[in-house]
Amino acid sequence: MIDQELVDLLKERYQIVFKNSNLLQAALTHSSYANEHRELHLSDYERLEFLGDAVLELNVSEYIYKKFAQLSEGQLTKLRADIVCTASFSEFSREVGFPKYIRLGNGEEKAGARNRDTLLEDVFEAFNGALYLDQGNEAVVKFLRQTVYNHIDAGEFSDENDFKTELQEELQSQGDVVIDYLVIGESTIEDNLSFTVQLIVNGTRLTTGTGHSKKAAEQQAAHRQLLKLRLDK
Amino acid sequence: MIDQELVDLLKERYQIVFKNSNLLQAALTHSSYANEHRELHLSDYERLEFLGDAVLELNVSEYIYKKFAQLSEGQLTKLRADIVCTASFSEFSREVGFPKYIRLGNGEEKAGARNRDTLLEDVFEAFNGALYLDQGNEAVVKFLRQTVYNHIDAGEFSDENDFKTELQEELQSQGDVVIDYLVIGESTIEDNLSFTVQLIVNGTRLTTGTGHSKKAAEQQAAHRQLLKLRLDK
């Protein structure tokens, strides 16, 4: 039932072989697929996502607690929030290559759910929940070293200002706004992936930002717009 | 530096002996105490609380995930929220006997912080963070079996309605209200502790509730008032 390609990918790239392949299968099964195939009595990923969410929260907390002995509780909390969020987890999900293997119902497939950040976040959490149940936390830590901790070590997350939130608060203080970040460029130079996004407020294209993740690019675009707003005052 | 009474209590009642007693000490040290004794270079509990929060979240999640196989993700989330909250954790803190051993600055002591629910919650989290670092997660699980899981097994938590929140929302829909729950009775019959609380809205005494914890008693009082409001309609 599980795509052999995914089984091979996990084994080759992460040295992960599930003992109970039902857990892996459930982690990649959206409820819409389980509902469309009731006769198969499939489990979807929702309960695993519940568990995986807490598995990730603890492991990320422990990693940054130990790595950044100089950070205060407040700084650690900000840093964790920057790592444990939809934008990051959906990126990790893409990086591992999960999107292709998610089992979706027809309706959700047509609605573009396969590339929806919240769904990709769910799958990343569910996978970690499944791995935790199948092989314990040490296996999770090993997997996170290759998928999350390496990004933390690379300094991609911040315990400081969240420019997107700051910008949103500033713009909303003047009334309702619709804020969007549109990916307008993506390039790979010698294995270094880079994104360019554009900030769009109420349909008007404003600043752009570039970074190694969409999130970093969005932060840069938001930061630039904040600086412009302050200069204009 | 650590109260020998606490060391004995932990050893006798929970078979816990810290290898690194600085961790235990920090878990019970409020920042106000550390600030008043700068010359001692004490660590306060804040970073441990950050870690302990995630330690508790994972262990409670795993426990209910495995115990209640029939619960959906949504029900598990509600149940977890009922367990992992200030009201519960402060009660657990009192049950272990932590309040007496917390090191507080003078100002905080006078302000009554020793009996403040949020501070007692922090200490419970920090203690679990310290135990996790000192002896690993198995030791935490063993401790939780005697302090948290026994309460879960006793059915003290619910995956269903939160009557206090429901009542608050209903009352606030008609304007600003001040809602209080006052403990008006406490009794112990054959080791069974029982609380009676009274709901007070804008200074008016309304329904009462009784339960094995303050939280359960408050839920009952809120539930009764909700029923009254519905009958009056």
Q: How many domains does chain B have?
A: 2
Same domain flag for A23 and A134? yes
List all residues of chain A from 135 to 164 with a beta carbon under 8 Å from chain B. Answer: 137
**Could you tell me the pLDDT band of residue B233, with boundaries at 50, 70 and 90?**
low
CB contact B76 to A (< 8 Å): yes
- Domain contains B111: yes
Which of chain A's residues have a Cβ under 8 Å away from the Cβ of B57? 54, 57-58
Same domain flag for A96 and A204? no
- Domain contains A158: no
The CATH number linked to A101 is: 1.10.1520.10
Strands, DSSP E only, in B12-126? Answer: none
What's the pLDDT score for residue B164? Answer: 86
What's the pLDDT score for residue A233? Answer: 63
- Domain contains A120: yes
Q: For residues A75 and A17, which has the higher predicted lDDT (pLDDT)?
A: A17
Residue A193 has pLDDT above 90, yes or no: no
Q: What is the average per-residue pLDDT within B13-22?
A: 97
Choose one of B123, B153, B183: the last residue of a domain. Answer: B153
Share of chain A above pLDDT 70, in %: 97
Q: How many CB atoms lie within 10 A of CB B11?
A: 12
CB contact A76 to B (< 8 Å): yes
Same domain flag for A172 and A217? yes
Q: Check if A53 is active-site.
A: yes
Q: Check if A125 is active-site.
A: yes
Which of chain A's residues have a Cβ under 8 Å away from the Cβ of B62? 51, 54
What's the pLDDT score for residue A176? Answer: 81
- Domain contains B158: no
Same domain flag for A114 and A207? no
Q: Output the 3-class SS for chain A.
A: CCCHHHHHHHHHHHCCCCCCHHHHHHHCECHHHHHHCHHHCCCCCHHHHHHHHHHHHHHHHHHHHHHCCCCCHHHHHHHHHHHCCHHHHHHHHHHHCCHHHCECCHHHHHCCHHHCHHHHHHHHHHHHHHHHHHHCHHHHHHHHHHHHHHHHHCCCCCCCCCHHHHHHHHHHCCCCCCEEEEEEEEEEECCEEEEEEEEEECCEEEEEEEECCHHHHHHHHHHHHHHHHHHHC
Same domain flag for B139 and B41? yes
What's the pLDDT score for residue B227? Answer: 79
Q: What is the pLDDT of residues A116-162, one digit of tens each?
A: 989 999 999 999 999 999 999 999 999 999 999 999 998 888 877 67
Closest CA of chain A from B54, distance in Å: 5
Residue B170 has pLDDT above 70, yes or no: yes
H or E segment and range at residue B190: none
Residue A1 has pLDDT above 70, yes or no: no
CB contact A58 to B (< 8 Å): yes
**Could you tell me the pLDDT band of residue B161, with boundaries at 50, 70 and 90?**
low
The CATH number linked to B221 is: 3.30.160.20
Same domain flag for A35 and A93? yes
Choose one of B153, B173, B202: the last residue of a domain. Answer: B153
Nearest to B61 among A54, A72, A80 (CB): A54
Nearest to A73 among B49, B65, B77 (CB): B49
- Domain contains A217: yes
Same domain flag for A37 and A104? yes
Choose one of A126, A153, A180: the last residue of a domain. Answer: A153
Same domain flag for B18 and B130? yes
Kind of pairing, strands A204-211 and A192-201? antiparallel
Same domain flag for B81 and B192? no
ipTM value greater than 0.90: no
| Domain, as residue range, for B135 | 4-153
Which of chain A's residues have a Cβ under 8 Å away from the Cβ of B71? 47
What's the pLDDT score for residue A162? Answer: 76
d(CA B93, CA A96): 41
Same domain flag for B113 and B186? no
Q: What is the pLDDT of residues B52-97, one digit of tens each?
A: 999 999 999 999 999 999 999 989 998 998 899 888 999 999 999 9
Same domain flag for A120 and A206? no
Q: What is the largest CA-CA distance in chain B?
A: 63
CB contact B57 to A (< 8 Å): yes
CA nearest neighbour of B168 among B216, B225, B83: B225
Bridge partners (DSSP) listed for residue B192: B189
Same domain flag for A95 and A30? yes
Q: What is the pLDDT of residues A100-128, one digit of tens each?
A: 999 999 999 999 999 998 999 999 999 99
What's the pLDDT score for residue A73? Answer: 94
Q: How many helices (H) and strands (E) does chain B have?
A: 12, 3
**Could you tell me the pLDDT band of residue A187, with boundaries at 50, 70 and 90?**
confident
Q: What's the mean pLDDT when you consider all of chain A?
A: 91
Q: Given B82, B91, B108, B125, which residue is catalytic?
A: B125
CA nearest neighbour of A130 among A45, A194, A197: A45
Residue B33 has pLDDT above 80, yes or no: yes
| Cβ separation B47–A137 shorter than 8 A | no
Assess contact for A61 and A78: CB atoms under 8 A.
no
Which residue does chain A place closest to B47, by CA atoms?
A73
Nearest to A51 among B54, B65, B72 (CB): B65
Q: How many CB atoms lie within 10 A of CB A141?
A: 14
Assess contact for A41 and B67: CB atoms under 8 A.
no
